[in-house]
Structure 1
Amino acid sequence: MTRLSGSSQQITHEELTPPNAARLTVRCNLADPDINPAIAGHIINNIPLVPSGLYGDMAAVVARYIWTKLRPDHEGTIGVNVCDMHVDKTFIPKWPAPREGEWFEMEAIADLSPSETNSGTIQYHFRKLDDPKIQEFAGCTVSFESVESWKHSWSGYEHIIASRVQNLVARANVESSGRIRTIQRGQAYERFKTFVDYHHKYQNMREVIMDYDALEATAVLDYQCDPAIDYCGPFFLDGSCHLSGWVCNESEADSKKNAYISHGWGAMKLSPEFSVAASKTTEFRTYVRMQMKGKDVLGGDVFILHGDEIVGVWEGVEFKRIPRRVLDIFLPHQKK
């Protein structure tokens, strides 16, 4: 069976109808050595959980595969926008991972527009395999788009985002009021432990500057995984976005009683210039300002910058505030 990546390990069904349609079923084994570290390093209440970054990575990998099959003559890079991600039920894997593995599958249904438009969509459905009802627990859409159109759109406001980052950095260097703080990696992830315990390869914010009144922050990215030996997909996606979750949980006045849980995202647009490999020689920075979007919901857009240039955006990231007593019902504390 074809193995596309560490996350998309088996194609169990492939139905291609060139030039515009395809239907694939792809499976992932959570016990696979390429992907298991991403599960083991994402801990809540001492329970490993499947991160939504894994679903986003699978969707992007399979989208690029389908594109090359249906558009083999396309020149240039197509933009893969993983959008409308929703995780309806938290996937709690068996732990320790069983010897026989633990599989789930993703079905992809592609409907591309006529070839001259270089666009189209794929609908994704994620399902468990050990559930007699074939329970669907997550879903998303991929939209094929022009990277150049992304950049053109970003150029209209990237000077505003860059100025907000510069303002935060400048204020952090001179203010001592305590409402704007600079926090280094170790302390930042120690604070994150009030909700999620990220192991080493997830700890990709080297430094965070936060304005606690405005719920505004910027972070310098420094990826800890090594593309030469690690499958970096889930670490890459989580690290590029999780400043938003950090701001939400850091701003919570009573972290012992409440926590902010991700509700998914609206769109994920990452240009080819932004990657783990590129980050080894190029400094990337993230920026976000979270705002109230409704009762107990904080939302915002996360921007990834190289200097003053936007190279990626997570649109419509949302977190819902829930009481910890409710969280503890669904994810009861486990002994270490």
Structure 2
Amino acid sequence: MITLVGRRAELLVKDCTPHTHGMLAVKGGAEAIRDVLGSKMTEIACINGPEETVLCGSGEVVGAANETLTARGFKATKLNVPFAFHSAQVDPILESFKKVASSVTFNKPAVPVLSPLSGDVIREAGVIGPDYLARHARETVNFWTALTTGQKEKIFDEKTAWLEVGAHPVCSGMVKASVGATVTAPSLRRNEDPWKTIATSVCALFNAGVQINFDEYHREFNAAQELLPLPTYSFDNKKYWLDYHNNWTLTKGEAPREVQKTIEAAPQAAPAVEKPAKRLSTSCQKVVHEEFEANSGTVVIQSNVAEPKLFQAVIGHQVNDTALCPSSLYADMALTVCDYLYKQLRPSAPKIGMNVCEMEVPKPFIAKMEQPAEGQHIQLEAKADLDEGVAHLKFRSVTPDGKLIQDHAHCLVKFEDINSWNEDWERINFMVKSQVDVLKAKTKTQEAHVMQRGMAYKLFKCFVNYNEKYRGMEEVIVNSQTTEATASIKFQNGPNDGDWYQAPYQIDSMCHISGFIVNATDLIDSDNNVCISHGWGSMRIA
């Protein structure tokens, strides 16, 4: 196999001119594309799914097809490849490739082969040979039909785990798009340490119920193996064994996965219909891209600030009569997207704690008080890696079609055990409560002062003007000399003010006490100085 792949690549470089032809990935069915292009229809290189088609041809023809399809609302992307596989460009190598393949011995398949060339299941010897491989290099590869046939003949089902052998996972996404919820694992991944990729894939396959020969896996490194010392059962009352439920060998305690999509037959020709974007919340209005693998995922969302409830959340936070997007809104967006990411990757897992860390806002987003017709758009990109237990997030303003205008903020979200948070709090809460009691006692000796909500936010107004929904500090007790303060919080927003994971009105209200102690007391010279928060180190809401 490696010989055939390598020699085919050599022949392409030797006998074909790079970049004279191209490939175009189109979000749409083959028949719908053919109806739009008509006489301009070019060759089809691949049919990867019911709505995933790749065209090929000369650079001029592919460029014209791209313009026509884009104008008709299709999403099309030119592939960055030097040669147009499965097109007329590869004709010069076919005879030479047959000769190379003639030197290879082709045996009867040890496992059934799903043929994307014929759409059949190959079980016998004599089908795959030099002629077959030459046709495979030149003709359309119908991945979708091969999968349909395989599922009809029960070659695989929703519990089947797929291992993709190659330089980077390409087919795994097609399998997930066509079959639905299933486990896929790559052998290699571009720009990633091969050991990390292999270890992650072995874990994913093991968790899916695949029997792994770990003796063989560790065979080359026997000297490096180490047995972990676990407490002996007879001297420790804590139970360390796993309780297996459901299917003993496959699911290992997890709830059985439901099949999200069953393939019965190739879809009938139908006009392309744009699928409505997925909405998560008021702050995360539209999922514009999502991609999931075994233990990682990427989600990009885009929201229009002009949406009435989101607009009120932004303009309710004004500095010098300018509506600055509050960091609390970024926090809600981060929690919303990371909750969605985690549930997609671990649908049956218990609730996880999300620690919003290292929030930095180097360039605040400023909302226009009179929104333009197209609105203002905030985009959030989140990349989660559950092996590392962290997600990286970036916030930016974009045009309605997603083109970058300005980067505004970035942060991390760490996935943590929420029970450990409560345990940490139990160890220190008595000290915090006792200090609050001391501060309250000082109000009787005039060492500390009590302010109600109206007065507290009136002092705040010199620096930041909050609307009513942000004014959550019901009562404030402050000692300016020792820079101590405590506040009673009563959230002012209601169900009609938007659907949020954690409303920015509430997050901001919980954080106001820190800004109040430095800006609204005699701690600093407020005539010449003001303290502005550009982020935080860690925020946990249990």
1:16 corresponds to 2:284: no
RMSD: 1.6
Deviations 1:116-154 (A, max 9, x none): xxx711000111214976432100010110111111111
Deviates more, 1:182-191 or 1:43-52: 43-52
Q: Which residue of 1 aligns with 2:396?
A: 127
Matched, 1:86 2:360: yes
Alignment partner of 1:28 is 2:298 = no
Seen in structure 2, the aligned counterparts of structure 1 residues 133 and 228 have a Cα distance that, compared at 3 Å, is closer
Larger CA Rg, structure 1 vs 2? 2
Structure 1 Cα separation of the partners of residues 519 and 321 of structure 2: 18
Query: Which residue of structure 1 lines up, in the alignment, with residue 147 of structure 2?
Result: none
C-alpha separation between the residues in 2 aligned to 1:8 and 1:170? 44
Gaps of 5+ in 2: 1-276
For residue 99 of structure 1, what is the amino acid of its counterpart?
A
- TM-superposition CA deviations, 1:187-243 (whole Å, max 9, x none): 000000111011110000000000111111000001111125444611011111111
Give SS of 2:369's match. coil
Q: Distance in 1 between matches of 2:527 and 2:311?
A: 29
State the 4+ residue runs in structure 1 displaced beyond 2 angstroms. 130-135, 227-232, 251-254
Residue 317 of structure 1 is matched in structure 2 by none
- Name the residue aligned to 1:187: 455
Letter in 2 for 1:250: A
- Separation in structure 2 between the aligned mates of residue 208 and residue 259 of structure 1, nearest angstrom: 20
Q: Secondary structure at the match of 1:261?
A: coil
Q: Contact 2:309–2:497 at 8 Å: present in 1 too?
A: no
Aligned to 1:103: 377
Q: TM-score of the superposition, structure 1-length normalised?
A: 0.75
* Alpha carbons 2:298, 2:384 under 8 Å: kept: yes
Tell me the residue number matched to 1:3: 279
> Is the CA contact 1:35–1:231 (under 8 Å) kept in the aligned structure 2?
no
User: Counterpart in 2 of 1:43?
Assistant: 318
* Contact kept? 2:284, 2:303, Cα under 8 Å: yes
1:149 aligned counterpart, secondary structure? helix
Taking a change above 3 Å as real, the CA distance of residues 197 and 136 of structure 1, as seen in their structure-2 partners, is same
Residue 237 of structure 1 aligns with an amino acid whose one-letter code is I
User: Would the aligned equivalents of 2:376 and 2:397 in 1 still touch at CA under 8 Å?
Assistant: no
Map residues 274-285 of structure 1 onto 2, 5 A cutoff: none
User: CA contact under 8 A between 2:282 and 2:498: conserved in structure 1?
Assistant: no
Aligned to 1:222: 490
Could you say what secondary structure the match of 2:441 adopts?
A: helix
Percent of residue pairs identical: 40
1:111-260 correspondence to structure 2 within 5 Å: 111-113=385-387, 120-130=389-399, 134-172=405-443, 174-176=444-446, 179-231=447-499, 233-251=503-521, 252-260=523-531
Whichever structure has more strand as a proportion of its residues is 1
Say which is worse superposed, 121-130 or 141-150, in terms of deviation: 121-130
CA contact (8 A) 1:194 1:255 kept: no
Counterpart-to-counterpart distance in 1, 2:364 and 2:405: 15
Aligned-residue offset at 1:47:
1.0
Aligned length: 261
> Partner amino acid for 2:367?
P
Q: How far apart, CA to CA, are the structure 1 residues paired with 2:371 and 2:504? A: 18
SS of 1:259's partner is coil
> Retained in 2: the 8 A contact 1:194–1:256?
no
Contact 2:353 2:415 in 1 (8 A): yes
1:288-303 matches, within 5 Å, as: none
Check whether the contact 2:378–2:398 (CA below 8 A) recurs between aligned residues.
Answer: yes
| Structure 1 spans left out of the alignment, 5+ residues | 114-118, 272-336
SS of corresponding position for 2:451? strand
2:540 aligned residue (269, 275, 279): 269
CA distance in 2, matches of 1:155, 1:136: 39
Offset, 1:48? 1.0
Please give the alpha-carbon distance, in whole angstroms, between the structure 1 residues aligned to 2:512 and 2:498.
20
Structure with the greater relative contact order (CA < 8 A, sep ≥ 6): 1 or 2?
1
**Displacement after TM superposition at 1:263 (Å):** 2.4
Tell me, in whole angstroms, the C-alpha distance in 2 between the residues paired with 1:169 and 1:249: 21
Alignment-mate amino acid for residue 313 of structure 2: A
- The 1-side partners of 2:370 and 2:511 are apart by 28
Check 1:127–1:48 CA distance in 2 against 1; reply closer, same or farther (3 A cut).
Answer: same
Aligned partner of 1:59 in structure 2 is 334
